[in-house]
A and B are shown apart, each in its own frame.
Chain A
Amino acid sequence: MNTQTFPNSNSGPSHLADAPAEDRLAFAITEVARQFPDRTAIVAGAGGEASRTIDYATLAAAIATLEAALDLVRPVGIIARAKRTESLVVIAAACGRQHVPVAFLAEDSRDLIGELRDWVTVDDSLVLVANPAAQRREFEAVATHVVVATSGTSGPPKLVEHSWDSLLAAARLAEQWHGLGWILVYDATRWAGIQVWLQSLLTGGRLVVPASRDPDVVLRAIVAEQATVLPATPTLLRRLLTSADRSLLAKARLERITLGGEAADKPLLEQAGAAFAGAKITQVYATTELGEVFRITDGLAGFPVNWLGRSLAGGARLGMRRDGELLVQLSRDSAEVATGDLIEKRGDRYEFTGRRSDVIVVGGAKVLPRRVEELLREVPGIVDARAYGMPSAITGELVAAEVVLADPLPAGSTPESIRAGALAACRSGLEPHGVPRILDIVKKIATNPAGKVPRRQS
């Protein structure tokens, strides 16, 4: 692994942080390119048949070319419609420094393009087509914004404007974060994915983009390109741990796993700790409205009981509604916000039991799908599970579940015997209405575009 620091101690992070937020990405890439032109910036298609390596000099040159074109045309905004991650990076960096608003539209939000009137599309060719009739937006000193589509987990996707400041707020610029190898398992056009490539390229790192999300491909990419940092949702991590080739898993040398987007449960954290010995597991608690609220670095599920009612390091204050919903007050002057996350005291921790909106209501009785999943995953022969609500004309909803079986199956068992065992385990561990009425055996658990588990039948 390349451990050179970026760029060097006196032109490093303090200098970088001095630059206006919208300039920072282009600035950082250009600086690394100047000092270490051959350093790998992005490995695309990693773990697949044909991977491509893009160095910092190439990236910086592409940014400069696009910046010149933007300066000439001065479009009102740019829609980044590229499939390649390196193109998204170039477009973002060039638009930032040229004070041109830029929009990232994921596949499922392409319909929203009509809202961006007169914006110009740039694809993987990185060519800006000048239309003489098009409206111009002259360079202004005021900061521009970045438009990102929401993932549509709670409602249809919509376009949200972010400032460059908020986009970069979570980036870690301290020296310990420099020159690391980051694996991108998120969609590069969504908030979480954008955060990963920004983080990597702001700190002279190597961004490893797997050829697909297939667990084996992701692990081959991690091993071949020596990625050491894995930002992922618990769902994506679980899929890696349960579905990927054992021998590949043993070869991955992850040093950091940053989990976000969903709460991780104890068995997953233990499994990850065992599979990636020595890896530091950080759980980031953030919401769309509040941004990052706190981080858990002790590798345990939930957060310490004594955090409730006290001001945390970042100034946030946690509270709990009588029904178990976590409340967050970011600062003394701000209002308390209901997070939609349900917590429950277990020993000396508050653990997350699910999203309020995930609760399945069966004939008026509430069922937490995470509880059902936890029970199913403990059944011998089952490696992963998803519980969700299925609409019913009789009871409103029914608990349905999907399970992934171990491969090979435990000695002496059959899919039928495991299914019967799972139902028996649920009958003894759950209230009658919580027992899955539909239990299907599937090859893999479905995830939504944000890398989370969907809780409703689509």
Chain B
Amino acid sequence: MSFLSDSTGAAIVAAIGQVLHDTGRTVDAVEPQMLLAADLGLDSLDLAQTIVLLERSLGVDPFRAPPAGSTRPAIRTVADLVGIYSQGLSDRPVQRLP
């Protein structure tokens, strides 16, 4: 659980929570190994919303401009999402929103 308790992980858990809340769904807990689609029920629209919410809270959208020459690993679990955002935050100067 410490994996999700750093600020990036916490932001991702919060974003997923809001997406589920906004769409009238609930979830008991978000765990790193959970599958976004199968366990949390997130579809592509949910993922798109999560990304906008995370751009607001973290100031980055790693999906908008993938690093040149890199192949994006599949995003299947919550941990994958944390990984890509952690990478995105360290790759670029952070433009945190106030």
Residues of A within 8 A of B (CB): 362-363, 390, 392-395, 398, 400, 423-424, 427, 432-433, 435, 437-439
Residues of B within 8 A of A398 (CB): 45, 48-49, 52
Whether the Cβ atoms of A437 and B49 lie closer than 8 Å is yes
A-B contact list, 30 entries, CB within 8 Å: A362-B45, A363-B44, A363-B45, A390-B52, A392-B51, A393-B48, A393-B51, A393-B64, A394-B45, A394-B47, A394-B48, A394-B63, A395-B44, A395-B45, A395-B48, A398-B45, A400-B52, A423-B22, A423-B24, A424-B24, A427-B23, A427-B24, A433-B45, A435-B23, A437-B22, A437-B49, A437-B52, A438-B49, A438-B52, A438-B53
Q: How far is the CA of A439 from the CA of B18 in the complex (A)?
A: 12
Known A-B contacts: A398-B52, A437-B22. Give 4 more (CB < 8 A): A362-B45, A427-B23, A438-B52, A438-B53
Residues of A within 8 A of B48 (CB): 392-395, 398, 437
Q: How far is the CA of A395 from the CA of B22 in the complex (A)?
A: 18
Q: How far is the CA of A435 from the CA of B49 in the complex (A)?
A: 11
Residues of B within 8 A of A439 (CB): 22
Whether the Cβ atoms of B63 and A437 lie closer than 8 Å is no
Task: Determine how close the nearest CB of chain B comes to the CB of A399; give it in whole angstroms.
Answer: 9
Residues of A within 8 A of B64 (CB): 393
Q: Please tell me if B80 contacts chain A, counting CB pairs below 8 Å.
A: no
Q: Please tell me if B61 contacts chain A, counting CB pairs below 8 Å.
A: yes
Residues of A within 8 A of B45 (CB): 362-363, 394-395, 398, 432-433, 437
Whether the Cβ atoms of B63 and A393 lie closer than 8 Å is yes
Q: Closest A-chain residue to B62, C-beta based?
A: A393
Whether the Cβ atoms of B22 and A393 lie closer than 8 Å is no
Task: Determine how close the nearest CB of chain B comes to the CB of A366; give it in whole angstroms.
Answer: 15
Q: How far is the CA of A392 from the CA of B63 in the complex (A)?
A: 9
Residues of B within 8 A of A437 (CB): 22, 45, 48-49, 52
Residues of A within 8 A of B53 (CB): 438
Q: How far is the CA of A400 from the CA of B51 in the complex (A)?
A: 13
Q: How far is the CA of A394 from the CA of B53 in the complex (A)?
A: 14
Residues of B within 8 A of A433 (CB): 45
Q: How far is the CA of A96 from the CA of B51 in the complex (A)?
A: 55
Residues of B within 8 A of A395 (CB): 44-45, 48
Q: How far is the CA of A392 from the CA of B61 in the complex (A)?
A: 10
Residues of B within 8 A of A435 (CB): 23
Q: How far is the CA of A363 from the CA of B23 in the complex (A)?
A: 18
Contact digits for B52-70, partner A, Cβ 8 Å, 1 yes 0 no:
1100000001011000000
Which of the residues A390, A394, A423, A427 comes within 8 Å of B44, measured between beta carbons?
A: A394
Q: How far is the CA of A432 from the CA of B49 in the complex (A)?
A: 13
Cβ-closest 5 pairs across A and B = A437-B49, A393-B63, A394-B48, A392-B48, A395-B48
Residues of A within 8 A of B24 (CB): 423-424, 427
Q: How far is the CA of A394 from the CA of B22 in the complex (A)?
A: 19
Q: Closest B-chain residue to A440, C-beta based?
A: B56
Residues of A within 8 A of B22 (CB): 423, 437, 439
Q: Name the residue among B44, B47, B49, B52 with the largest chain A CB count within 10 angstroms.
A: B49
Residues of B within 8 A of A394 (CB): 44-45, 47-48, 51, 63
Q: How far is the CA of A427 from the CA of B22 in the complex (A)?
A: 10
